[in-house]
Structure 1
Amino acid sequence: MYGMRTEAKFDAAHFLTDYDGKCENLHGHCWRVVAYIEQEELQAEGQSKDMVVDFSVFKRALRSLANEFDHTFIVEEGSLEQKTMACLENETFRMTVLPFRSTSENLARYFSDRLVEMGFPVQSVEMYETATNCAIYYPNR
């Protein structure tokens, strides 16, 4: 079995709906996402011969996903009143609206799903909210 890992960072704000505690209020994180891929055999031909994948392709893909979130306000769809959303948009806030609660667990799964859609053999994705706390998603378990 062969494996690779790469990581990316992004700064973003969010809040947790239906949460009784500090995180129900708007706050931000310097998020760190670490992706692991693995497969049994190395590529047999082409530029990626004897590689799992080309590192530059893997790094570029993860960093591109992270950049979609960088310096945005992550909002769970339907969690804010439409007039609030309109005011934020009018003030030109960059928002990333997602159909799920913006927990680290859900973000780890989101990044994993997106990488799988791109054809990467994802083993796991770690999503760090802080330097010491992360959620891990394993797509094949």
Structure 2
Amino acid sequence: MYELMIETQFSAAHQLREYKGKCENMHGHNWKVQIVVAAEKLNEIGLGMDFHDLKRISNEVVSTLDHAVLNEIFPFTEINPSSENIAKWLYDSIGKKTEGGNITMSSVTVWESETASATYYE
């Protein structure tokens, strides 16, 4: 099994509903995102997936969050836009665009600061 990883970022504001702390107030982060996919085999030229394609697909999804208020974007209108929920949403959304063929999602890690992150994987 091979794993391929890219990183990207976005800037966005959010608030954690019913948090009972300062994060319940609207605030922003410069989020970093790590996307990891797995390939069981390589193609005829020795690639699991072209990094260019993985970046393009990932950035199509991540760009919908950039410079946004996350609480105003579905599903975060209904669930808290926590790092954990953002990681799962990115995992599911990017996974839909990469399914079929040789690639499966491994994990998505979302950093809201240099020292705090959440990872989702199945």
TM-score norm. by structure 2 comes to 0.89
Q: For residues 100 and 122 of structure 1, what CA distance do their matches in structure 2 show?
A: 23
Q: Secondary structure at the match of 1:50?
A: coil
Task: Look up the equivalent residue of 2:26 and give its one-letter code.
Answer: L
Residue matched to 2:59: 63
Counterparts of 2:79 and 2:39, CA distance in 1: 30
Matched, 1:72 2:68: yes
Instruction: State the Cα distance separating 1:40 from its structure 2 match.
Output: 2.0
Q: Secondary structure at the match of 1:118?
A: helix
Query: Whole-Å Cα distance in 2 between the matches of residues 124 and 97 of structure 1?
Result: 21
Q: 1:100 to 1:43 in 2, by over 3 A?
A: farther
> CA RMSD for the aligned pairs?
1.3
Q: Which runs of 5+ in 2 are unaligned?
A: none
Q: Which has the larger radius of gyration?
A: 1
Offset of 1:33 from its aligned partner? 0.7
How many residues were matched structurally?
A: 116
Runs of 4+ in 1 over 4 A off after TM superposition: none
CA contact (8 A) 2:39 2:49 kept: no
- SS of residue in 1 equivalent to 2:64: helix
Match of 1:18 in 2: 18
Q: Take 1:43 and 1:101, find their aligned partners in 2: how far apart are those partners?
A: 40
In the alignment, residue 136 of structure 1 is paired with which amino acid?
Answer: T
Which structure has the higher relative contact order (CA within 8 Å, separation 6+)?
2
Which position in structure 2 is the counterpart of 1:92?
none
Separation (CA, whole Å) in 2 of partners of 1:8 and 1:21: 29
Where structure 1 has 5 or more consecutive residues not aligned to the other structure, the ranges are 76-94
Question: What secondary structure is seen at the aligned counterpart in 2 of 1:107?
Answer: helix
Structure with more strand by fraction: 2
The CA deviation at 1:137 is: 0.4
Aligned to 1:30: 30
| Percentage of identical aligned residues | 34
Q: CA deviation at 1:34?
A: 0.4
